[in-house]
A and B are shown apart, each in its own frame.
Chain A
């Protein structure tokens, strides 16, 4: 068609295909049309909602966040009182959720790995006990387990005045577990710094030892030395400050214990329920991961004279982890999301604080959006980290 075809014309137009039949242009057009429809639907939902809310004279927007919350929260990692704003109340909720999720994930992975290995034990009794545990825990809904543990805490344990004291300075009552902690002393900052320095030292030592082993073939006892540095450095710091050992011992004042550290029954029940439940799933994942490695590998490693620990550390685990990590990530996400069941047993997690906020302000749509946003962030951050870790593990293997 075009006699003097310009150099930048596409081959299609050169062959005389019309604008509407161009495959690329069509594809782009479809995408734009689809996007437009989605946008239209979104706009319809949004404007419809705003119109409905306006007609019913319901307040909208996030302005309420800066108002005084006026309600108390049972436990908080940061200072909070009823005089603070809704933003701060919600932040308290986020931190409480993070607290239970973080501690829960760590404990779950430890317990789950232990159970998974026990399930494969050659000892008949140990293997069967682990199997029974896993089956039972997986089959009971988590909400029931939470109710069970919560009523265990407040029904079985006595009132604060008759608290059980299994060890000196540790009190168990229906107000939770209270235990003595060292009273604050400036040297603790330095001890923490020394501990961190110890960890860095151990990391450097490991790198050096590995290089040396590659060069000379000699094995350096990294584990013992690392342990020495990590524990020794803070210990020496503590000694050099005159070994302060004053304890903050909980004492019954009025209604409750003052001083020491308190773990509330709500937090205890939630943590226990989540860990025991999720660990059963993690155990199965660990078992599957280990069983995915063929027996021949273990036999081969034995044949070249590796010790049992070395077989696990150098041969089995690096390969098993590749199988374990992806499903483990989804269990971690499950635990975080299940922590929202806290609302049933009165632990002030994010959902609990957010639904109180919704009810006090009446702004349900804004509140639910915040809940969704926060859980989305939790999930994305967890999977981002686990994907990074997964990639790292995979690379080492190849």
Chain B
């Protein structure tokens, strides 16, 4: 079962003779696809649809990496991982990159031996409660039973929050996302806590979504970012700039629809970005068309956001912190030169 999988991963760590440092990109090219870890259960971020095709913001982030490396966004395989399995799977080399709504923290960046790339979603932790309880804010939750995923930052934040506010809580921790949501909808818990985006995703699949509300309180900062193993700088650069390319493209006004026209643009920034004026690809060890391929096949950040979690999806999320810096958000890319 889950424990067996963890044991297997550890065995790989025990037996692996060669290091991973500096070799991920060669390994990926040799095997012909990117092996990514994804959520598998989170609508809008990482979940296969009814046809078995993976959909979501994190999934599209993974596809952007594949497009950058191979020029083909479909050369990626996803495996679903629980919150408890995800970091061990990355540490052991079972996956090349983790695109699974993981929060960047100091501890994970250092002690866990991970490196986080550019944030692809700025989130914060909130509370989902049944409407009929008529709660106004999170301070009224004293004594509540709280459904929470084990091994997450949310599990720690909620404990901190109740401690600071001198309130009592009783956690119910279930490792599987779907089982946890089921227990909450059945009334096992008074409140479900997670990142606000996840709450929107969970509410979207509720039997009666209108029976539930998300409280206004946001109790934490959750910068969600793709992660790679520590110490492999070239691979980290590729992952990092794959995400940044989507942000830069939105700022430059390049979309999957107009990218071919933009090849003729006289703007030197656009020419450098799309590889018409070469240099960026060589610097990263990639094809000069890498950014063109990302935008052509996956889209810019705004397109990816709207397609997966935006206003026309069941999640109905606003751009908020995830808008471009020019529009009052946090999405900001360094110059591509």
* In the complex, chain A residues whose CB is within 8 Å of the CB of B143: 253-256
Interface set, chain B 72-93, CB cutoff 8 A to A? 83-84, 87-88, 91
Q: Type the 1/0 row for A45-70, where 1 means its CB is closer than 8 Å to any CB of B.
A: 10011001101111100000000001
Please measure, in the bound complex, the distance between the C-alpha atom of A358 and the C-alpha atom of B17, giving whole angstroms: 23
Closest CB in chain B relative to A329 CB, distance in Å: 23
B166 to chain A, nearest CB (A): 12
**B-chain residues with CB within 8 Å of residue A255 when the two chains form the complex:** 141, 143-145, 190
Is there an interface contact between A49 and B14, defined as CB atoms closer than 8 Å?
yes
Known: A343-B175, A344-B179. A74 touches B170 (CB 8 A): yes
A330 contacts partner chain B, Cβ-Cβ < 8 Å? no
Q: How far is the CB of B231 from chain A (nearest CB, A)?
A: 6
The reply on A345 being an interface residue by CB < 8 A is: yes
Interface residue A237 (Cβ < 8 Å from any Cβ of B): no
Which residues of B sit under 8 angstroms from A150, Cβ to Cβ? 183
* Residue A243 at the chain B interface, CB threshold 8 Å: no
Where chain A touches its partner, the secondary structure class is: helix
Total contacting residues, chain A, CB less than 8 A: 54
A126 to chain B, nearest CB (A): 36
Residue pair A256, B111 in contact (C-beta under 8 Å): no
Q: A256-B143, A343-B2 are in contact. Are A368 and B84 (CB under 8 A)?
A: no
Cβ–Cβ contact B186 & A151, under 8 A: yes
Chain A residue nearest to B173 (CB atoms) is A346
Scan A68-94; emit 1 where CB is below 8 A from any B CB, else 0.
001111110000011100000000000
Contact status A57-B231, CB under 8 Å:
yes
Against A, the Cβ 8 Å flags (1 = close, 0 = not) of B305-322 are: 000000000000000000
Q: For residue B113, which residues in chain A have a CB less than 8 angstroms away from its CB?
A: 53, 56-59, 362
User: In the bound complex, do residue B91 and residue A56 qualify as a contact, i.e. CB atoms below 8 Å apart?
Assistant: yes
B132-166 vs A, Cβ < 8 Å mask (1 yes, 0 no) = 00000000011111000011100110111011000
> Which B residues are CB-close (under 8 A) to A131?
none
| Residues B50-92 near A (CB distance < 8 A) | 83-84, 87-88, 91
Which among A53, A174, A341, A355 has the highest number of chain B CB atoms within 10 Å?
A: A355
Contact flags B96-135 to A (C-beta < 8 A → 1, else 0)? 0000000000011011110000000000000000000000
Contact B174 A345 (CB under 8 A): yes
Question: In the complex, what residues of B have CB within 8 A of residue A341's CB?
Answer: 1
Tell me if A174 and B188 are in contact (CB < 8 A): yes
- Check if A365 is an interface residue, CB within 8 A of chain B: yes
Distance A59 CA – B169 CA, assembled complex (angstroms): 31
Whether B174 contacts A346 by the Cβ 8 Å rule is yes
Q: Does A116 contact B (CB under 8 A)?
A: no
**Is A379 at the interface (CB under 8 A from chain B)?**
no
B16 is an interface residue with CB less than 8 A from chain A: yes
CB distance from A378 to the nearest CB of B (A): 15
Chain A residues near B15 (CB-CB < 8 A):
45, 48
Known contacts A49-B14, A359-B151, A368-B10; A57/B230 CB under 8 A: yes
Set B163, B173, B231: member contacting A55, Cβ < 8 A: B231
Instruction: Indicate if the CB atoms of A56 and B229 lie closer than 8 Å.
Output: yes
Min CB–CB distance A43 → chain B (angstroms)? 12
Give Cα A352 to B173, complex, Å.
9
- B residues adjacent to A (C-beta < 8 A): 1-3, 6-7, 9-10, 13-17, 19-21, 83-84, 87-88, 91, 107-108, 110-113, 141-145, 150-152, 155-156, 158-160, 162-163, 169-176, 179-180, 182-183, 186-188, 190, 229-231
* Chain A to chain B: the 8 pairs with minimum beta-carbon distance, closest first: A359-B151, A362-B112, A58-B113, A82-B159, A56-B113, A59-B111, A346-B174, A154-B188
